[in-house]
């Protein structure tokens, strides 16, 4: 079921006695989640839980750090001291 562009509702899951859930097959396909992938479980006490592939988060952080680093490399320290 498509809720709006780029957003999906995959159904409901049940938490097992061991605290496990099964991610619906369509969600696993859409997000390319494979056996052995590491997932991050993030939480906001007022908004709820979010699950993301660790590799996607790490890649995003790496890109952000590269942009941050290059912004400092582009500045001329001599120009700041004048």
Mean pLDDT, consecutive 10-residue segments, the chain of 82 residues?
78 97 96 95 95 86 78 64 54
**Can you read off the two tokens belonging to residue 19?**
């605290």
pLDDT at 8: 92
**Can you read off the two tokens belonging to residue 59?**
């890649």
pLDDT at 80: 56
pLDDT at 59: 78
For the domain 2-75, what is the CATH code? 2.10.260.10
pLDDT at 78: 60
CA distances from 66 to 35, 57, 69, 72, 74 (A): 30, 14, 5, 10, 12
Whole-model pTM?
0.65
pLDDT at 2: 53
**Can you read off the two tokens belonging to residue 68?**
């941050």
Domain spans of the chain, in order of start: 2-75
């Amino acid at each position: 079921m498509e809720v709006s562009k780029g957003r999906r509702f995959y159904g409901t899951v049940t938490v097992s006695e061991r605290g496990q859930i099964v991610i619906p097959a369509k969600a696993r396909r859409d997000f390319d989640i494979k056996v052995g992938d590491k997932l991050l479980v993030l939480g906001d006490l007022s908004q709820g839980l979010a699950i993301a592939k660790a590799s996607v988060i790490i890649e995003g952080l790496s890109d952000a750090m590269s942009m941050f680093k290059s912004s400092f490399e582009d500045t001329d320290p001599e120009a700041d001291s004048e």
